[in-house]
Amino acid sequence: MSETGIKNRPLIVPIFIPNEGCPYRCIYCQQEKITSQSLQDVNASTIARTLDQAVQSHRFDPIRKPEVAFYGGTFTNLTTARMKELLGAVRPYLQKGLFNSIRFSTRPDSIHNKPLDMLRNMGVSTVELGAQSMVDEVLKQSRRGHTSQDTVESVQLLKEFGFKVGVQLMPGLPGDTQERFMQTVQKVIRLRPDMVRLYPTIVLKGTVLEKWFQEKRYHPMPLAGAVKICQESCIRLEDNGIPVIRIGLMSSKTLLEDNQIVAGPWHKAFGFLVRSEIYQQRIESYLPEWGAAAEIGLRVPHKELPLVRGYKNRGLRSIEEKTGAKVIKVTGDDTVPPGQVVVNSL
Ligand code: SF4
């Protein structure tokens, strides 16, 4: 990532409240392992410590409009007193201008009859909804306990209250198919959220999904299939002006230790695999026809060099397969417009 790229990305400092406020444990969920954090850690003083550390870090940059995020639980199911405790701990940092705003994740069936005005007044600007799928049969088979209509209504209500809305989606849940996930994406596009996250379903140790997997009742997507589905989804969402801000679960120490990942399309660079596939698809029209050259050189903007190379140079191999030419040289050249490639026959 170039310096410019980093500066353009919003700086989010996460505070995890693993499963706090969740009405029950979802079949695939293992927040403590995902986040390396246990519930008793989170109180006003630990929040202050986390934010102080973030502010002192060399990566902290007010230009990136820093935000504090409460992730890993169902924030709006907490008692009003607990919500105020957590948000109140952030307030001094908002007042000093060190952070711009707060975001949190929650369930689509935990928005109605919640104190949304209070949340706005205490500095929350973005709410991320764990919608997961917009196909009711998938939600039912995955025992999510809410419907797609809950997501539709929650997004509308949050927008009426002036929040930015993020939608989290999970391809590959029980009952899901490529076709059903594309229906989900189309329905989400109609809702016009401000951003989407894509988390392909992974089987984690100690979950109901693991049991279903062992009993052969659940079959996870293969890695290539998950990359493909996320690639398609990303293109459709971003072509409709909805940014995809995360693809794939983040790695955490505890998730990777003790073989916590039992099965599923896990890859440490999953998002990069998807982004480089999208890139390869987009540059195809700039490549010479198969057999037109024996050896070629490529010039691309500096920040697109990793994308053209792809994971372990798989991007270059793919270009060689498509053109029948050997890629001899790849050069960074910022006179080339973003998303384009200049090809020289050598
Ligand atoms: S609501 Fe979210 S955080 Fe809570 S158990 Fe379900 S997936 Fe996990």
Atom of ligand 1 nearest to the CA of 25: 5
CATH 3.20.20.70 fits 3-268, yes or no: yes
Q: How far apart are CA 97 and CA 101, in angstroms?
A: 9
Q: How far apart are CA 127 and CA 107, in angstroms?
A: 10
Q: Report the nearest-CA residue for atom 1 of ligand 1.
A: 22
Q: Report the nearest-CA residue for atom 3 of ligand 1.
A: 73
Q: Scanning the structure block, which residue is given the tokens 């973003």?
A: 338
Say if CB 200 and CB 171 are below 8 A apart: yes
- Does the beta carbon of 25 lie inside 6 Å of ligand 1? yes
Give the pLDDT of residue 36: 57
Mean pLDDT of 96-122: 97
Ranges for all domains in the chain classified under CATH 3.20.20.70: 3-268
pLDDT in tens, 285-332: 999 999 999 999 999 999 999 999 999 999 999 999 999 999 999 999
Residue 39 scores a pLDDT above 60: no
Spacing, Cα 20 to ligand 1 middle (Å): 9
Spacing, Cα 208 to ligand 1 middle (Å): 13
- Give pTM, 2 decimals: 0.91
pLDDT in tens, 255-285: 777 778 999 999 999 999 999 999 999 999 9
Ranges for all domains in the chain classified under CATH 3.30.300: 285-345
| DSSP codes joined into one string, 35-68 | HT--GGG-SHHHHHHHHHHHHHSTT--GGG--EE
Residue type, 32: E
Atom of ligand 1 nearest to the CA of 72: 3
Atom of ligand 1 nearest to the CA of 18: 3
- Does the beta carbon of 130 lie inside 6 Å of ligand 1? yes
Residue 9 scores a pLDDT above 70: no
Q: How far apart are CA 188 and CA 180, in angstroms?
A: 12
- Does the beta carbon of 196 lie inside 6 Å of ligand 1? no
- Does the beta carbon of 217 lie inside 6 Å of ligand 1? no
CATH for 285-345, options being 2.60.40, 3.30.300, 3.20.20, 3.40.50: 3.30.300
- Does the beta carbon of 17 lie inside 6 Å of ligand 1? no
β-pairing, 203-204 vs 261-263, is antiparallel
Q: How far apart are CA 340 and CA 287, in angstroms?
A: 10
Q: Alpha-carbon torsion 191, 196, 201, 206, what sign?
A: negative
Q: Report the nearest-CA residue for atom 6 of ligand 1.
A: 26
- Does the beta carbon of 74 lie inside 6 Å of ligand 1? yes
